[in-house]
Amino acid sequence: MSVQVDIERTSLVRTALVLEWLTLAWVLIEAAVAISAGREAHSLSLIAFGADSLIEALSACVLLWRLNMELRHGHVFSEDAERKASKIGGALLFALAAYVIASAAWGLWTREGQEFSLLGLVITAATIPIMYLLAKHKIAIAEKIGSRALRADAMESITCGWLSFVVLAGMVAQLVLGAWWVDSLTSLAIVYFLVKEGREAWAVEECGCSSCH
C-alpha cells in the first residue's frame, strides 16, 4: 500500500512540475509582452502587470526547485531555503507596490495618461483563462500531496488572473471614455493585490510549506 501511495505521489509531483514549467514559460512571455506594450503605450498598469509576472516567474523557479528536490530525495528538502525565497518574493512585491503608488501619483499630478495598446489587450485577455486553468490544476494537486508551497503558487496564478482582469478593464475604459486618469487609477487597484500577495509570501508559516496537511 505504501509503495502504491509513493508511486501516486510521484506521479502527482511530476504533473505539478509540468504545470510549473508551463507557468514559467507563459509568465516570461507575459512579462516581455506586457512591459514592452506598456512602455510603448506609456501604461503604468501594463508595466506593473509585467513586473508582477517576473515575480511570478521567480515563484515558479522556487517551486521547480522544491518539486525536483522531492523527486530526488523524497520529502527531504530545505524548507528554510524555501522560506527565505518566499520572503524575497514578498519584499519584491512590496517594492513593486511602492513603485506603482509613486508612479500613479506622478501620473495624476502631471495629468499623463496611457495610449490604447492592442497588444496589451490581447496578452491580458489571454492570461485570464490560462491562469485559471493552471491554478485549478495546481490547487487539486496541492490538496492531494499536502503542499502549502504549491497552493501558494496557485494563489499567485489566481492573483495574476485578477490583475489581468483589472488591467483589461482599465484599457477598455480608457478606449471608451478616453479619460487620461484611468491608467493611474487602474494601477492603484493593482496595489491591493500586490500587498496582499506580498504579505502572504512574507508570512510563511514556521511549520514548513509542504509538509503540513
The structural domains of the chain, ordered by start, are 2-202 (1.20.1510)
Q: What does the block give as the cell for 5? A: 501511495
Model confidence at 213: pLDDT above 60: no
Is the pLDDT at 148 greater than 80, yes or no?
A: no
How many Å apart are CA 63 and CA 15, to the nearest integer? Answer: 12
The answer to whether residue 206 scores a pLDDT higher than 50 is no
Instruction: Give the list of residues 6+ apart from residue 96 with CB closer than 8 angstroms, or none.
Output: 48, 51, 52, 55, 194
Give residue 189's pLDDT.
Answer: 76
Q: Whole-angstrom Cα distance, residue 76 to residue 96?
A: 33
As a whole number of angstroms, the distance between CA 196 and CA 173 comes to: 25
Tens digit of pLDDT for each residue in 4-63?
A: 667 888 899 899 999 999 999 999 999 999 999 988 888 877 888 898 888 889 888 888
Average pLDDT over residues 172-189: 75
Q: What's the pLDDT score for residue 200?
A: 77
- Whole-model pTM: value is 0.76
- 194 neighbors 44 (Cβ within 8 angstroms): no
Give the pLDDT score at 32. Answer: 96
What pLDDT digit, counting tens, does each position of 72-120 carry? 776 555 566 567 766 777 787 788 788 778 777 877 776 666 677 889 9
Mean pLDDT comparison of 77-91, 157-171, 194-208, highest-scoring range: 157-171
In terms of pLDDT, which residue wins out, 55 or 135?
Answer: 135
Residue 180 predicted with pLDDT over 80: no
Cβ neighbors of 15 (< 8 A, separation 6 or more) are 137, 141
